[in-house]
């Protein structure tokens, strides 16, 4: 923008601030181009830039009556655009952060429907295989799953547990086949 | 904010501009409302204050919204109307002055004198403006409304005295300016 264009914007903005409605279109046209260019450079995103420039232009026009002729109209207008660009950038950053946190929460709590179905199938299969074991083996496995306090840690129990696990594997292979 | 087309954006822009002007113009009420409050406190008739106050409260922001020069005219009009608002009320306390067999209500000359002051002030200020006549008319209307709050203590004669004073106060300023140009 050269000096004469800048002067024209200054004159038009001063007239508009006074209440001269005929200065609206020159101000609107000139400042829209300036604000859009500034926003595009600041945001590197055409859509966001248009949003920012539009919001800045509307705020500027809302405050047009308060414009002081001693101030530089272009700098004054760019102040609005800078504020809008910063606000949009902060808002999109906050949205990204909130989105990532939200996804982490979703992933960490409830299983997905697919996971829930798989887990249910495995539980049913395990119950079926455990049901086919001898009561002594089932009891041994039950004690082992309950933890070392109830199960104890003697060599006799370890031997019993080893046999029970071998029979469980065999029963599993028999019912559901080998993973190989 | 939704994305707008070029024409929608301009339409909304004009709307925002007028909204901003209305907000800015409403500041004139900060000059008008205290004056009305004072008028009520010093015992001016409620109907009179409400009537003139309503006119002032509508006219002042409306004029200021049209153009900033009328906002200045409103301020000048209020300031110029202050002597007419105060003087007759102060002199009312003197009562009716007896001059031999004749009597004189001091509020009448007070209204006239304050009218002269108002006319001189408004005219002198109007000369600084580009659109002098419209500025003068707007300022005198506000002066008349403000002054009437006080001048009406002498009835309609007080108001007429104020207007005669405004005309008298305006004439020399306009004439001097005219002579200065020629």
pLDDT digits 0-9 by tens, B99-118: 667 777 777 788 888 888 88
Domain with A124, as residue range(s), is 113-176
The reply to whether A102 and A15 lie within a common domain is yes
Residues 6+ apart with CB under 8 A from A38: A53, A78, A81, A82, A85
Q: Which residues of chain A have a CB within 8 Å of the CB of B1?
A: 51, 54-55, 58
The reply to whether A97 and A63 lie within a common domain is yes
What residue in A sits closest to B25 (Cα-Cα)?
A65
Within chain A, residue ranges assigned H as helices are: 3-18, 24-43, 46-62, 73-108, 113-132, 135-146, 148-151, 155-176
pLDDT of residue B56: 96
Chain B interface, mutation test: which of A31, A48, A65, A87, most B Cβ atoms within 10 Å? A65
Q: Which of A19, A55, A64 sits opposite B66 (nearest CB)?
A: A19
Q: Do B67 and A18 touch (CB under 8 A)?
A: yes
Please give the distance of CA B113 from its chain centroid, rounded to a whole number. 16
The reply to whether A120 and A169 lie within a common domain is yes
Cα distances (Å, whole numbers) of residue B90 to A107, A113, B110: 82, 88, 9
CATH number where A125 lies: 1.10.10
Residues 6+ apart with CB under 8 A from B174: B123
The reply to whether A12 and A95 lie within a common domain is yes
- How far is B141 from B138, CA to CA, in rounded Å? 5
Q: Do B69 and A18 touch (CB under 8 A)?
A: yes
Whether B19 has its CB under 8 Å from any CB of chain A: the answer is yes
Inter-residue contact A35 to A57 (CB < 8 Å):
yes
The reply to whether A103 and A147 lie within a common domain is no
Q: What is the domain count for chain B? A: 1
Looking at the domain assignment, is residue B26 inside a domain?
yes
The reply to whether A42 and A102 lie within a common domain is yes
pLDDT of residue B182: 47
- Residue that terminates a domain, selected from A107, A131, A159: A107
The reply to whether A63 and A123 lie within a common domain is no
The reply to whether A102 and A122 lie within a common domain is no
Domain with B155, as residue range(s), is 6-181
Q: Do A64 and B17 touch (CB under 8 A)?
A: yes
- How far is A169 from A175, CA to CA, in rounded Å? 10
Q: Give every residue of chain A whose pLDDT is below 70, as ranges.
A: 100-117, 147-153, 178-180
- Residue that terminates a domain, selected from A107, A125, A158: A107
Phi, psi of A157 (to 5 degrees): -65, -40
Looking at the domain assignment, is residue B81 inside a domain?
yes
Q: What is the 3-state secondary structure (H, E, C) of B133-147?
A: HHHHHHHHHHHHHHH
Question: Reduced to 3 states, what is the DSSP secondary structure of residue B180?
Answer: helix
CA angle (B44, B123, B111) in 5-degree steps: 30
pLDDT of residue A158: 84
B24–chain A nearest CA distance, Å: 7
Model confidence pLDDT, tens digit, residues B44-89: 889 999 999 999 999 999 999 999 999 999 999 999 999 888 887 7
The reply to whether A17 and A66 lie within a common domain is yes
**Token pair for B39:** 């008028």
Residue B26 has pLDDT above 60, yes or no: yes
- How far is B164 from B157, CA to CA, in rounded Å? 10
Angle between helices A24-43 and A3-18 (to 10 degrees): 120
Cα distances (Å, whole numbers) of residue B134 to A122, B79, B160: 91, 18, 22
CATH number where A41 lies: 1.10.1740
The reply to whether A80 and A28 lie within a common domain is yes
- Residue that terminates a domain, selected from A88, A107, A126: A107
Residues 6+ apart with CB under 8 A from A124: none
- How far is A64 from B21, CA to CA, in rounded Å? 8
Q: What is the domain count for chain A? A: 2
Looking at the domain assignment, is residue B93 inside a domain?
yes
- B90 pLDDT band (50/70/90 cuts)? confident
Interface residues of chain A, partner chain B, Cβ below 8 Å: 16-20, 24-25, 28, 32, 50-51, 54-55, 57-59, 61-66
Q: Do A62 and B20 touch (CB under 8 A)?
A: yes
**Token pair for A70:** 């001693």
What residue in B sits closest to A57 (Cα-Cα)?
B13
Q: Do A19 and B67 touch (CB under 8 A)?
A: yes
B23–chain A nearest CA distance, Å: 9
Model confidence pLDDT, tens digit, residues B117-169: 888 898 889 888 888 889 999 999 999 999 888 887 777 777 888 888 888 87
The reply to whether A52 and A9 lie within a common domain is yes
Q: Which residues of chain A have a CB within 8 Å of the CB of B66?
A: 19
Q: Which residues pair with B98 in a beta bridge?
A: B103
pLDDT of residue A95: 83
Query: What residues 106-135 of chain B have any CB closer than 8 A to a CB of chain A?
Result: none
**Token pair for B22:** 């209305």
């Amino acid at each position: 923008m050269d000096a004469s264009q800048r002067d024209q914007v200054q004159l038009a903005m001063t007239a508009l601030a006074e209440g001269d409605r005929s200065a609206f279109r020159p101000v609107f046209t000139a400042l829209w181009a300036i604000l859009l260019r500034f926003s595009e450079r600041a945001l590197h995103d055409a859509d966001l830039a248009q949003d920012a420039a539009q919001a800045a232009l509307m705020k500027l026009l809302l405050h047009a009556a308060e414009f002081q002729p001693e101030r530089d109209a272009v700098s004054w207008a760019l102040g609005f655009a800078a504020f809008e660009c910063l606000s949009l950038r902060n808002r999109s950053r906050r949205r990204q952060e909130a989105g990532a946190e939200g996804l982490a929460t979703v992933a960490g709590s409830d299983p997905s429907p697919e996971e829930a179905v798989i887990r249910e199938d495995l539980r049913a299969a395990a119950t079926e295989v455990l049901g086919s074991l001898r009561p002594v083996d089932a009891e041994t496995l039950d004690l082992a799953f309950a933890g070392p306090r109830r199960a104890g840690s003697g060599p006799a129990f370890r031997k019993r547990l080893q046999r029970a696990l071998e029979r469980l594997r065999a029963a599993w292979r028999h019912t559901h086949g080998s993973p190989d | 904010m939704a994305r707008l087309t070029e024409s929608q954006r301009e339409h909304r822009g004009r709307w925002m501009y007028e909204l901003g002007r209305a907000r800015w113009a409403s500041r004139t009420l900060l000059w008008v409302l205290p004056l009305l409050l004072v008028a009520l406190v010093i015992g001016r008739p409620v109907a009179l204050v409400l009537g003139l106050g309503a006119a002032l409260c509508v006219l002042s922001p409306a004029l200021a919204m049209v153009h900033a020069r009328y906002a200045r005219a409103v301020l000048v009009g209020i300031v110029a109307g202050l002597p007419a608002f105060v003087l007759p009320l102060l002199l009312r306390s003197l009562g009716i002055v007896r001059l031999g067999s004749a009597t004189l209500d001091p509020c009448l000359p007070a209204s006239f004198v304050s009218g002269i002051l108002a006319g001189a002030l408004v005219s002198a200020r109007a000369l600084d403006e580009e659109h002098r006549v419209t500025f003068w008319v707007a300022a005198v209307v506000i002066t008349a409304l403000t002054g009437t709050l006080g001048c009406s203590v002498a009835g309609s004669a007080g108001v007429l005295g104020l207007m005669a004073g405004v005309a008298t106060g305006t004439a020399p300023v306009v004439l001097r300016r005219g002579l200065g140009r020629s």
